[in-house]
Every structure is written in structure tokens, then in C-alpha cells.
């Protein structure tokens, strides 16, 4: 039977990442992060992969969050294309808002990967990490001592010079 056999193509992969370079014409470099468990140490680690993507209109800028999709090879290293800009670099609102929401999501993902099958309850609560005791104050005092010349008081050399 030599009829028209239609080949069904699979769904193309998509990834969301951050633009780290837009210096090339019609090409952006997108950094995509993923969480994975270390094979030996069983710790959850953050792995980063860079993809070169085709940006026909030179729309994306450094810092933008973008959605890229698999495509046919366009050059030796470029096998992805820009679908859309999810979020612009300057549209995050207040600086702390996006980071806090992102940290909570990352913390939950790490917890879920470290303890499969166990959910975090509200009575466990989030622990705040403070600065160690004497963090910046001790460093400032050390810097003053090193500028004075160490442990020796400044008055001793002038007394020895007078005698």
C-alpha cells in the first residue's frame, strides 16, 4: 500500500530560563536551572545548562525570563528558538518580592526532593538564618588594629626617638 502515510511528530520540548547574553545578532544564550540529586552524596544540587536560541526580532534582553522551544538545527550550536518573553528584567516590582516567592518555591522543591513522600507541616515553620555573633563588628575592629600597625601602641616609637 503506497498511500499517503502521515507521520505524527512528537511534541517539542520547551524550557523556561533566563537570558545571560544577547550580544549576537538574532541569537540569545539562555541559562536553564534544574535541581538534581547527587549520586554519591545524595544532596540536592542546582545544575545550570546554557542553550543558544534563535531570536528573529532581537526582542529578548539580558535578565529577561523567556520560554524557548526545540527546533531544527540552525547552526552548529543553535537548536532552540524563542517562543515568548515571560517576564522582562525590569518588571519585577519591588526587589524583595520576586526573590521571596522564588526562594519559597525553591525551598519546597529541595524539601520534596530530600524527603520523598513527606510533606512539610505548618508547625515545623521556617527558620530564619541570622548573622553569626560578632559578624561585622569584629571585622571592623580587626581592620582598625591592622591600620594602626598591630598590637603595639602608637606612642612607643615617639618615646624611643626622644631618648
95-143: pLDDT as tens digits: 545 555 567 777 888 878 888 877 766 555 554 444 445 445 445 545 5
pLDDT value at residue 107 = 80
pLDDT value at residue 131 = 42
pLDDT value at residue 1 = 45
Please give the grid coordinates belonging to residue 112.
520534596
Average pLDDT over residues 48-72: 96
Q: How far apart are CA 39 and CA 47, in angstroms?
A: 13
Q: How far apart are CA 40 and CA 24, in angstroms?
A: 39
What are the angstrom distances between the C-alpha of 109 and each of 27, 39, 40, 45, 123? Answer: 31, 18, 20, 11, 19
Q: Strand pairing of 65-70 and 14-21? A: antiparallel
Lowest-confidence segment of 14-18, 49-53, 87-91, 131-135 by average pLDDT: 131-135
Q: How far apart are CA 140 and CA 74, in angstroms?
A: 55
Q: Indicate whether 94 pLDDT > 70.
A: no
| Beta-carbon contacts of residue 93 (< 8 Å; ≥ 6 apart) | none
Residue whose C-alpha is closest to residue 113's, from 49, 46, 15, 48: 46
pLDDT digit string (tens) for 20-52? 999 999 999 999 999 999 999 999 999 999 999
Q: Which residue has the higher pLDDT, 90 or 15?
A: 15
What are the angstrom distances between the C-alpha of 116 and each of 9, 47, 97, 108? Answer: 34, 20, 29, 11
DSSP assignment of 93-115? -SHHHHHHHHHHHHHHHHHHHHS
10 Å CB burial of residue 13 (0-12, 13-18, 19+) is exposed
Amino acid at each position: 500500500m503506497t498511500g499517503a502515510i502521515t507521520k505524527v511528530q512528537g511534541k517539542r520540548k520547551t524550557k523556561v530560563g533566563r537570558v545571560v547574553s544577547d550580544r549576537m545578532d538574532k541569537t540569545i544564550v539562555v541559562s536553564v536551572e534544574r535541581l538534581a540529586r547527587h549520586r554519591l552524596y545524595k544532596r540536592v544540587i542546582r545544575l545550570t545548562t546554557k542553550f543558544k536560541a534563535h531570536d528573529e526580532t532581537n526582542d529578548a534582553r539580558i535578565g529577561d525570563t523567556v520560554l524557548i522551544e526545540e527546533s531544527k538545527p540552525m547552526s552548529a550550536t543553535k537548536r532552540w528558538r524563542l517562543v515568548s518573553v515571560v517576564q522582562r528584567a525590569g518588571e519585577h516590582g519591588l526587589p524583595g518580592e520576586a526573590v521571596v516567592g522564588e526562594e519559597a518555591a525553591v525551598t519546597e522543591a529541595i524539601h520534596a526532593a530530600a524527603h520523598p513522600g513527606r510533606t512539610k507541616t505548618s508547625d515545623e515553620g521556617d527558620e530564619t538564618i541570622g548573622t553569626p555573633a560578632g559578624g561585622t563588628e569584629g571585622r571592623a575592629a580587626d581592620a582598625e588594629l591592622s591600620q594602626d600597625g598591630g598590637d603595639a601602641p602608637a606612642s612607643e616609637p615617639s618615646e624611643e626617638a626622644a631618648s
